[in-house]
Amino acid sequence: MIRYAVKCADGHVFESWFQNAAAFDTLAAKGHVTCPDCGTSTVEKSLMAPRVTTSEAAKSAETSPEAQRDRKIAELKAKVEAEADYVGQSFVTEARKMHEGETPNRMIYGEANPKDAVSLLEDGIPIAPLPFLPTRKAN
């Protein structure tokens, strides 16, 4: 796949992905590449700088604050999924049952709408949002 900056006859610039350079040429010649702003099919490749990543830039990206955050979130997700029971949409019910002593306390995670989550907190049931979406499990 290759990404090209494309410019239409009216001067609008946009980007699009193509299988290869020949695919762009073929599609453009047949009028299948159109400007998303004005709809014209009179387009041509525009000047663009290639995105080149050096090993130093790649290493810098791996240690960026965003990469570190993403790594920590992934570690937290793995820990939660390994050590807690996924209860899915039954999260609110299960949390209430544990709080009221109907079922043994255990670590659970699942899904709750904001209104129900606030209700749990107002009732003194300790919960916390997770910074990731759970991997849905069939059972």
The number of C-alpha atoms within 13 Å of 69 and in the hemisphere containing its C-beta is 5
73 shares a domain with 36: no
Residue 135 lies in a domain: yes
Instruction: Determine the pLDDT at residue 53.
Output: 67
Structure confidence at residue 113 (pLDDT): 93
Contact between 87 and 94 under an 8 Å Cβ cutoff? The reply is: yes
Matching residue, tokens 């525009």: 46
Q: Which sign does the torsion angle of CA 74, 79, 80, 81 carry? A: positive
Instruction: Quote the tokens at residue 110.
Output: 């699942």
Please tell me the predicted confidence (pLDDT) of residue 108: 97
Bridge partner residues of 8 (DSSP): 43
40 with 84, same domain: the answer is: no
| Residue 54 placed within a domain | no
Q: Which pLDDT does position 107 carry in this prediction?
A: 96
Residue 23 domain boundaries = 2-45
Question: What pLDDT tens digit does each residue of the chain (139 aa) get?
Answer: 788 899 999 999 988 888 888 989 999 999 999 988 898 999 998 866 666 667 776 666 677 888 899 999 999 999 999 999 999 999 999 999 999 999 999 999 999 999 999 999 999 999 999 998 877 655 4
Considering the domain boundaries, does residue 16 fall inside one? yes
What's the total number of domains in the chain? 2
Residues 87 and 132 in one domain: yes
128 and 73 in a common domain: yes
- What confidence score (pLDDT) does residue 51 get? 65
pLDDT at residue 139 in the model: 47
The reply to whether 86 and 40 lie within a common domain is: no
Query: DSSP H helical segments within the chain, as ranges?
Result: 21-29, 55-62, 65-83, 91-99, 114-122
